[in-house]
Amino acid sequence: MSLELIVGPPNSGRAGAVLERVRAAVDRDPVLVVPAADDATRFEQDLCRDGGAVGVTIRTFAALVEDVATLAGASPPPTLSRPQRLAVVR
């Protein structure tokens, strides 16, 4: 299994590059990891638009952490509340 990280500033074409690579890898049941639920929804809509979403799993970073913890037999880490997240950021 390989991992490919696609980065770039806004409007740099990274979403198009991600969609292109995911569509090319559909036969290998790819997992697309995105930062947030909004991103997952957008990519799912884009992939479904042309029927290219079959076989693709889209997960957020938080969901991926939970998946790894579960597969490793550990309890997923507790989720921080909004005030706790703000405290961490400060």
pLDDT, average across residues 21-47: 92
> Closest Cα to residue 5, out of 28, 27, 21?
21
pLDDT in tens, 57-77: 999 998 998 888 889 998 766
- Interacting residues of 90 by C-beta distance below 8 A, sequence separation 6+: none
Answer yes or no: is pLDDT of 1 > 70.
no
Task: Report the range of poorest mean pLDDT among 8-12, 48-52, 66-70, 86-90.
Answer: 48-52
pLDDT-derived band at 37 (thresholds 50, 70, 90) equals very high
Q: Which contiguous run of DSSP H or E holds residue 57? A: strand 57-60
Answer yes or no: is pLDDT of 3 > 70.
yes
Q: Which contiguous run of DSSP H or E holds residue 71? A: helix 61-71
Answer yes or no: is pLDDT of 52 > 70.
no
